[in-house]
Structure 1
């Protein structure tokens, strides 16, 4: 439809009052959106304000500016409802809050829409005073612009060739009040890189309905991101657990279902839990809960706990997502790796033994994966994690006199499902010339075999392992 507007903005005239020094607030918002979206869409964006044209104008997206000036059945609400009844082409509504408005006071038709808070509470995070011109509030306007861009691009059929048919949904879990700014930063980063962020509707206040919706979001996503804060978060009606805890529990259960084979997932699902290193607990109970979480293997199923500065965490998120998207795309194209691989884990001092192992296994048409020893720490960590995900089996080369190192490697094998590994190892074997300081019984109970060999490693030493690879 050639005369269809891109955006229709409805608002109260009181929210767009101009002064000698400045244009009205809504006018400033519309001008910002026009410039920002022009850059993204590479064309002029047609924005209609409520007073510019008749309300029957057709539009691809609809923004309702909600404030204390237009609640309680005032004229703009009636206009809004009649507009939606008459215009069927509006495919997406956006709710922008200029000032604080409790959800219970909002029109029914808006309660199920995600709200973009275009104001910032001044002083304490619980203060009800608002500062409409804060930089944080304008950053949220950027978030709104990216969401609108996604909707318009979908309607216009604008999709990057490499993204066609690729799932880029990310479940970014609801957070406690103290982590809202970090949540917003991560969401902004995801949107900037072309990912769709879920939830795209408010999570219901009732526990049962919330759980149903969260489960649907998880099944649609390639990753879930959970941010642990200083506060527990709100508790839905009918639950004793906070929404933060509910989301984490459901994500752990979802991973358990996938890993057990009860349900298949074509999304290469993995999840990350982030705890800011700057976190300062004022709630002793919450501190105890977070400490308990770090030790709760069931609650951490499929998860990788990361406690780094936010900028580092965002880098990790993007790298994990890029890996998952590439893996899913190649899998769907039928370009999966058929050659089986063994990840040889060793210290630099064990490199000669590792090379001998590689010489033996490649004769059986097996691929040898190696750790990296040079580069930045994040690159080393990413290589190690990728090898743990991709390999079919592992061999740990151990010299002697460093039991803490071998213990750390076993722990990392246990964490592999949290990195995104979806299949069991064909074997986990330690190769050593002296097993005197290794607790073989304990390792055996954990599914790790210890193989003592001579300095002159031969193919016969590895034959039992290679037979497992052939099965």
Structure 2
């Protein structure tokens, strides 16, 4: 990118009513915003940030030559959006003057750098101006019981902290943009590109925190601008961005999210998930979905989406579902990116290579960790190996992302699955059965594996009921059984489901 020289780093365009004090204890919001941004941006740049704003004129005065000059000499315009800003002839004129001059002097978008940066201090009715159609917008407010509360320490310490965090994120983005405009950007990153999907308002803070962390670590994060409000355009842009990404991360919560104008009526959250599924099926995209276990939505369409993510293998296709908090998601993102950047030998690829040399194939023996520790599953493993099968059990060591990947890779590679009901309790068994209903999503077109259930270890009423009501595909390995009885049970089950025995 060619070097561009500017007198000012940032021009702050704002309505003066938004700088009026709401408490005698604090300066106006714009004054504090300017001060904090200048300090944080200077820290990131390593030199004094030059930020200009009009401290004298009130709305309604003629746009003077000085302001035009300052506009023309500014690398970036930062527009503080509020209801008054959009109603002010002079604020909107500043914005249009900057955009027109930018277009004549290198462009409003240079490379991937946006020179118009809107922040929404107070929500507005209706759409933003057309010039901001595809521009990334940052919110400086939150919704509580449907009421917008600005990030402002005047409303309490919590909102003051949110204000500082949001300005910090903004300062980092501005530093990257200014370096790029001046030709001082870092060499093109060789790290994977991450698609951090837009989400509902209730997960936005988590998304911004993760996005900021990824940027600080040198990753390119998409979307880098606002998605189009038209459905067809939105889908096309998402497809284009996903084609450049190695990982997509989806944060799903109670909020349905924005709905593009189009025939489907689907939220942008659902569109992004569907396009990521399509990309994952064509290969080259890892996926993580953050869906906390307690998530419930009062919106029927969103609750149906939440339910589908948990139960429908097609909706969840190719993704690890993270049911924990944002810290678990961060750990999974780190582990996934490390695996993408430094691919290690994959255990299952070795398994598949060995299985290819055998006649009878691979059995995935799904058991609880206690089964392995207490060696409850050992007799069954021995019988299966004697019948010419290779047997693999779940991976229990390592980080959560690696464990899930090994599990799903084995589900995709195996020829048969034995659900080993030994030390696990009925809740564990139901959870595993729910997971196995999604197995088709991990097979990439391969036929479904044969399915068996083995009741083993200590006899319980629940296990006895299974023995009395199930026949086809049931293996009985309860305590006290002889090796011969166990072998016969395995052979009969395999015969009924078509496996060699």
Query: Which of residues 40, 63, 77 is equivalent to 2:95?
Result: 77
Distance of 1:401 and 1:276 partners within structure 2: 23
* Structure 1: gaps of 5 or more residues: 374-378, 465-471
Distance 1:316 1:78, change over 3 A: same
Shift of 1:98: 3.5
Shift of 1:170: 2.7
Q: How does 1:181-192 map to 2 (within 5 A)?
A: 181-192=202-213
Whether the 8 Å CA contact 1:34–1:47 is kept in 2: the answer is: yes
Shift of 1:76: 1.3
Query: Which of residues 50, 60, 63 is equivalent to 2:78?
Result: 63
Aligned to 2:52: 49
Query: Which of residues 212, 220, 223 is equivalent to 2:248?
Result: 223
Listed one character per residue, the Cα deviations across residues 1-51 of structure 1 (whole Å, up to 9, x for unaligned) are 59556832231472686889866644532332343345555x225333156
Aligned to 2:186: 158
Listed one character per residue, the Cα deviations across residues 208-253 of structure 1 (whole Å, up to 9, x for unaligned) are 2233333334444412414232x54454333352415xx3255246
Listed one character per residue, the Cα deviations across residues 159-207 of structure 1 (whole Å, up to 9, x for unaligned) are 79xxx422241332332xxxx2432233223322435554333333333
Aligned to 2:58: none
Distance 1:421 1:158, change over 3 A: farther
Helix, strand or coil: the match of 1:265? coil
- In the alignment, does 2:340 pair up with 1:340? no
Helix, strand or coil: the match of 2:73? coil
Q: How does 1:187-336 map to 2 (within 5 A)?
A: 187-194=208-215, 196-221=220-245, 222-229=247-254, 232-239=256-263, 241-243=265-267, 247-248=269-270, 251-252=273-274, 254-255=276-277, 258-259=280-281, 264-274=282-292, 276-277=294-295, 279=296, 281=298, 285=300, 289=304, 293=308, 297=312, 300-302=315-317, 312-331=324-343
Shift of 1:55: 3.2
Distance 1:219 1:451, change over 3 A: farther
Distance of 1:109 and 1:408 partners within structure 2: 50
Aligned to 2:359: none
Shift of 1:86: 3.5
- In the alignment, does 2:97 pair up with 1:97? no
Whether the 8 Å CA contact 1:6–1:45 is kept in 2: the answer is: no
Helix, strand or coil: the match of 1:8? strand
Distance of 2:304 and 2:433 partners within structure 1: 26
Distance of 1:439 and 1:82 partners within structure 2: 78
Distance 1:130 1:32, change over 3 A: closer
Shift of 1:442: 8.7
Distance of 2:334 and 2:382 partners within structure 1: 29
Helix, strand or coil: the match of 1:55? helix
Shift of 1:289: 3.9
Helix, strand or coil: the match of 1:339? helix
Distance 1:407 1:15, change over 3 A: closer
Aligned residues: 425
* Structure 2: gaps of 5 or more residues: 55-65, 154-158, 353-362, 457-462, 495-501
Listed one character per residue, the Cα deviations across residues 294-329 of structure 1 (whole Å, up to 9, x for unaligned) are 67626633256655xxxx421232222223212222
Aligned to 1:148: 174
Aligned to 1:110: 132
Shift of 1:273: 3.6
Distance of 2:467 and 2:276 partners within structure 1: 34
Whether the 8 Å CA contact 2:14–2:85 is kept in 1: the answer is: yes
Name the stretch that deviates more: 84-93 or 20-29.
Answer: 20-29
TM-score, length basis structure 2: 0.65
Structure of greater Rg: 2
Distance 1:238 1:48, change over 3 A: same
Distance of 1:70 and 1:400 partners within structure 2: 65
Query: In angstroms, what is the RMSD of aligned CA positions?
Result: 5.0
Distance 1:265 1:189, change over 3 A: same
Q: How does 1:415-430 map to 2 (within 5 A)?
A: 415=438, 430=452
Query: Which of residues 138, 141, 146 is equivalent to 1:125?
Result: 146
Distance 1:329 1:425, change over 3 A: farther
Name the stretch that deviates more: 394-403 or 296-305.
Answer: 394-403
Whether the 8 Å CA contact 1:95–1:114 is kept in 2: the answer is: yes
Whether the 8 Å CA contact 2:309–2:316 is kept in 1: the answer is: no
Distance 1:54 1:431, change over 3 A: closer
Whether the 8 Å CA contact 2:248–2:276 is kept in 1: the answer is: no
Aligned to 1:455: 483
Whether the 8 Å CA contact 1:65–1:97 is kept in 2: the answer is: yes
Distance of 2:267 and 2:291 partners within structure 1: 15
Distance 1:423 1:417, change over 3 A: same
